[in-house]
Amino acid sequence: MFNWYRKWRLKQLLKLQSELAAENEANKPQLQRVMSEESDKFRDSKEPWVTIIGDTISEEGIQLALDWNDAFVKYLKTQGVTGADDTQVVQHWLAMISRQAADKLSENYEQIENKVNEYQ
């Protein structure tokens, strides 16, 4: 009975999705400029700084593009993170926090599973 409405609504949603994608694409140069200005401001800072400047999500996984300053690498080294060069130091740090996040999620999952089992 309401099949016509569903089709119309789907058409409207697809149109809006297309418009949003076009708007995002149009704003991309401005966003990149602002991000570049922000990066330039912090790159010379004496305070440790790191930011995500890009990401790619695919079937192979997630790839992150990071930007950081020398103070961030120095901070990581004082915390015991090692690597052959600055890029490797940051990659090791990212691997460490990824592992910690995965461990925490696994721990939380086990706690939830235990609670569910208590109620069964």
1, pLDDT greater than 70: no
- Extract the tokens encoding 19: 């418009």
The pLDDT of residue 42: 83
Report the percent of the chain where pLDDT is more than 70: 98
Q: Place 18 in a pLDDT band, splitting at 50, 70 and 90.
A: confident
Domain coordinates of the chain in residue numbers? 1-43, 45-120
* Residue 25 scores a pLDDT above 60: yes
Distance CA 117, CA 111 (A): 10
47-86 pLDDT, tens digit each = 999 988 888 888 888 899 999 999 999 999 999 999 999 9
Using pLDDT thresholds of 50, 70 and 90, give the confidence band for residue 7.
confident
Give pLDDT, residue 93: 97
Look up tokens 């004082």; give the residue. 78
Count CA atoms within 13 Å of residue 75 on its CB side: 13
